[in-house]
Amino acid sequence: MDEKTQKKVEAAVLEILRGSDMASLTEYKVRSAAADRLGIDLSLPDRKLFVRRLVEDYLQSLADEDEKKQQGGSGEEGDPKKEHRQEEEQKEEKGQEKVEEDEEEEEEEKKVVVGKELDDNGDLILCRLSSNRRVTLSDFKGMTLVSIREYYLKDGKEMPSSKGISMTVEQWEAFHNSVPAIEDAIKDLGGSD
C-alpha cells in the first residue's frame, strides 16, 4: 500500500474509532467500515496488519491517557518498569481478544452473505430439505452447479457426500421444465392407491 493510501486509511480508521462505542467495536468492524468508506479492499493480509496496528496503537493511547489521569488524580508515582509490564500485559490481552473476535466474525461473515447462507465449503445454500440434505449453488472449474446432496459431519464441518446429484444450469433448467410432468405423475401414482 502506498503512503498516500496509508494516510487515507489511517485517517478513516481513526475517525471510525473516535466516533464509535469501544465496548462493542472490533478490528473487523473497523476494517470493514473503513473499506466501505474508502472503497478499498482491506482484507489482504498486509492491509489487515496495517489496520490492526492502527487499532492497537489507538487502544494503547487510550490506556495511556487513562493511566495518566489515574496517576494525576492520586499524586503517586509508580514503578516505571512495573507500569510498563502492566501496559504490555493489557495490550496483549486486548490484542488477543480482538484477534479472536475478528476471526469469529470473519467466519460468520463467510457463512452469511447479505442474508444468504453459505455452507462450510462456501457454497450458497438455496434450500434445506432435511437436517442432512440440501440444495446448493456452487462454482466448480468455472461451471455453475446446482447440487441436491446429503451431507455428513467430519471434524466439526459439514461435508458433501457422494449421495446426490450436481447439475449444470442447462441440466437444472431441463429438470425444472419437467417438474409439472413429474407432479402430474406423482398425483396419478398417489391416486391409484
pTM: 0.40
- Average pLDDT score, the chain: 80
pLDDT of amino acid 106: 57
pLDDT of amino acid 92: 63
Residue 2 has pLDDT above 90, yes or no: no
Report the range of poorest mean pLDDT among 48-62, 98-112, 155-169: 98-112
Q: How far apart are CA 13 and CA 49, in angstroms?
A: 13
pLDDT of amino acid 89: 67
Residue 96 has pLDDT above 90, yes or no: no
pLDDT of amino acid 48: 83
More confident residue, 94 or 52: 52
Residue 150 has pLDDT above 70, yes or no: yes
**pLDDT digits 0-9 by tens, 19-75:** 877 777 788 888 888 888 888 888 887 888 888 888 888 888 888 888 888 877 554
Q: How far apart are CA 41 and CA 172, in angstroms?
A: 35
Among 64, 52, 61, which residue's Cα sits nearest to residue 10?
52
